[in-house]
């Protein structure tokens, strides 16, 4: 803001590229579409050539090796159902012909079928519940009177919460025993981090926020580059003291924390702190990121620097006259959009 030169963070872009690629394929495998979009925006912003290596862990074909060969076709069919929002069907396919209920021993199930398979089974059931909740809400508004709608909504909420509690009880015996030691991060730890993440989503929907925050922090400490966990954690931070109390990784390699902190400061209306981090990230090699540049515009807006904000949006093709920009920014700071 004062015109002084901005010095970027000491980040190795080649290392970042590897981190993003692995995280992208892990998220893509599990159907976490929004995180994939955010990651690819960053990947594109780096503007680095990707060195092809058939043995690389960043190869999409190698990521699929985490699925047992005899279950791969079943998994792919289930994933196709997940992609078309047939969440109940997805879970049914994954659970077909099991010798005994999965919830009897999740560790045994994971040992036999793998982390990814189990994650999709849990996540698809969570998403099925969310879809039913949303559909019931829309249907109630369309066909019921106000009093009837309220009653129907409460019944629907209770039913969904009962389903979520059941899923929570299933996954807890496993996540409660995850080892959080500081050993070298293995494939199992990456898999465990995603299970902690989906457990946190269930707790969030049930309103158990403290537990959700704890699970997200555990997930991040196992997997520094688990962006969906960082993203969900932002909404749970109510003040700087809360953020400072969290046992988040501070290692130099944990570059995602900068993006997380910028989002937190924007949420807390501390535009100057957010802008400082965002400008440093821009100078660190992420200047082409649409999401980053949009947040810089929001930071200027938070500081009431309206001309700079408008210039920022226009300079980076973030036209405030289109609904696509509103979707990207998650806000309409200038009130230019009307329904």
The alpha-helical segments, DSSP class H, found in the chain are 13-29, 33-46, 60-63, 72-83, 87-95, 106-113, 115-143, 146-175, 187-205, 209-222, 227-234, 240-245, 256-267, 271-281, 290-302, 306-315, 323-329
Q: Tell whether the model's pLDDT for residue 52 goes beyond 70.
A: no
For the stretch 78-95, pLDDT in tens is: 999 999 999 999 999 998
CATH class of 26-61+226-333: mainly alpha
Contacts of 98 (CB under 8 A, 6+ apart): 109
The alpha-helical segments, DSSP class H, found in 115-176 are 115-143, 146-175
User: What distance in Å separates the CA atoms of residue 218 and residue 180, rounded to the nearest whole number?
Assistant: 7
How many residues are recorded in the chain?
A: 339
Of residues 105 and 299, more confidence is placed in 299
pLDDT attached to residue 322: 38
For the stretch 64-82, pLDDT in tens is: 788 888 899 999 999 999 9
**Is residue 330 classed as helix, strand or coil in its secondary structure?**
coil
Average confidence (pLDDT) over 28-32: 95
Q: Tell whether the model's pLDDT for residue 330 goes beyond 50.
A: no
Contacts of 116 (CB under 8 A, 6+ apart): 29, 30, 66, 67, 75, 191, 194
pLDDT attached to residue 108: 84
pLDDT attached to residue 3: 53
Both tokens of 312, joined, read 């920022």
Cβ pair 195, 126 in contact under 8 A: no
Q: Tell whether the model's pLDDT for residue 57 goes beyond 70.
A: no
User: What distance in Å separates the CA atoms of residue 230 and residue 182, rounded to the nearest whole number?
Assistant: 19
Q: Tell whether the model's pLDDT for residue 150 goes beyond 70.
A: no
Q: How confident is the model at residue 184 (pLDDT cuts 50, 70, 90)?
A: very low
Q: Tell whether the model's pLDDT for residue 328 goes beyond 60.
A: no
pLDDT attached to residue 54: 47
Q: Which of 16-20, 159-163, 195-199 has the highest mean pLDDT?
A: 195-199
Cβ pair 293, 312 in contact under 8 A: yes
Mean pLDDT of the chain: 84
For the stretch 218-264, pLDDT in tens is: 999 999 999 999 999 999 999 989 899 999 998 888 999 999 999 99
User: What distance in Å separates the CA atoms of residue 83 and residue 24, rounded to the nearest whole number?
Assistant: 16
pLDDT attached to residue 135: 82
pLDDT attached to residue 65: 80
**Is residue 269 classed as helix, strand or coil in its secondary structure?**
coil
Q: How confident is the model at residue 336 (pLDDT cuts 50, 70, 90)?
A: very low
Q: Tell whether the model's pLDDT for residue 62 goes beyond 70.
A: no
User: What distance in Å separates the CA atoms of residue 238 and residue 5, rounded to the nearest whole number?
Assistant: 32
pLDDT attached to residue 188: 81
pLDDT attached to residue 337: 32
Average confidence (pLDDT) over 6-16: 86
Q: Which of 112, 120, 218 is nearest to 175 (CA)?
A: 218
pLDDT attached to residue 275: 96
Q: How confident is the model at residue 182 (pLDDT cuts 50, 70, 90)?
A: low
User: What share of the chain in percent tops pLDDT 90?
Assistant: 56
Q: Tell whether the model's pLDDT for residue 331 goes beyond 60.
A: no
Average confidence (pLDDT) over 99-113: 78
In order of 14, 171, 191, 287, 308, the CA distances from 41 in angstroms are 16, 32, 24, 11, 23
Q: Tell whether the model's pLDDT for residue 166 goes beyond 60.
A: yes
Both tokens of 276, joined, read 């400082």
Average confidence (pLDDT) over 159-182: 89
Q: How confident is the model at residue 268 (pLDDT cuts 50, 70, 90)?
A: very high
How many beta carbons lie within 10 A of that of residue 290, not counting itself?
Answer: 16
Q: How confident is the model at residue 314 (pLDDT cuts 50, 70, 90)?
A: confident
Of residues 61 and 114, more confidence is placed in 114
Both tokens of 222, joined, read 């196992």
User: What distance in Å separates the CA atoms of residue 30 and residue 33, rounded to the nearest whole number?
Assistant: 9
pLDDT attached to residue 141: 59
């Amino acid at each position: 803001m004062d015109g002084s030169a901005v010095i970027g963070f000491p980040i190795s872009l080649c290392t970042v590229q590897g981190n993003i690629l692995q995280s992208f394929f892990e998220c893509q495998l599990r159907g976490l579409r929004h995180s994939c979009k955010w990651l690819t925006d960053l990947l594109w912003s780096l503007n680095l050539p990707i060195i092809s290596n058939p043995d690389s862990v960043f190869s999409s074909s190698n990521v699929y090796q985490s699925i047992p060969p005899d279950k791969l076709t079943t998994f792919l069919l289930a994933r196709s159902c997940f992609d078309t929002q047939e969440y109940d069907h997805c879970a049914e396919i994954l659970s077909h012909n099991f010798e005994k209920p999965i919830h009897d021993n999740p560790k045994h199930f994971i040992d036999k079928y793998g982390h990814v398979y189990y994650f999709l089974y849990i996540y698809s059931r969570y998403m099925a519940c969310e879809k039913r909740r949303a559909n019931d809400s829309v249907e109630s508004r369309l066909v019921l009177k106000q009093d009837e709608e309220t009653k129907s909504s409460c019944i629907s909420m209770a039913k969904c919460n009962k389903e979520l509690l059941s899923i929570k009880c299933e996954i807890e015996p496993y996540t409660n025993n995850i080892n959080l030691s500081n050993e070298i991060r293995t494939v199992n730890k990456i898999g465990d981090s995603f299970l902690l993440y989906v457990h946190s989503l269930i707790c969030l929907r049930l309103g158990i926020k403290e537990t959700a925050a704890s699970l997200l922090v555990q997930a991040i400490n196992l997997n520094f580059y688990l962006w969906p966990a960082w993203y969900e954690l932002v909404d749970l931070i109510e003040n700087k003291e809360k953020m400072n109390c969290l046992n988040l990784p501070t290692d130099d390699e944990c570059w995602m924390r900068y993006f997380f902190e910028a989002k937190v400061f924007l949420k807390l209306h501390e535009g100057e702190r957010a802008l400082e981090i965002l400008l440093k990230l821009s100078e660190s090699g992420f200047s082409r990121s649409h999401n980053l540049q949009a947040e810089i515009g929001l930071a200027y807006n938070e500081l009431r620097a309206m001309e700079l904000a408008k210039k920022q949006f226009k300079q980076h093709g973030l036209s405030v006259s289109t609904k696509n920009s509103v979707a990207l920014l998650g806000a309409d700071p200038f009130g230019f959009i009307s329904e």
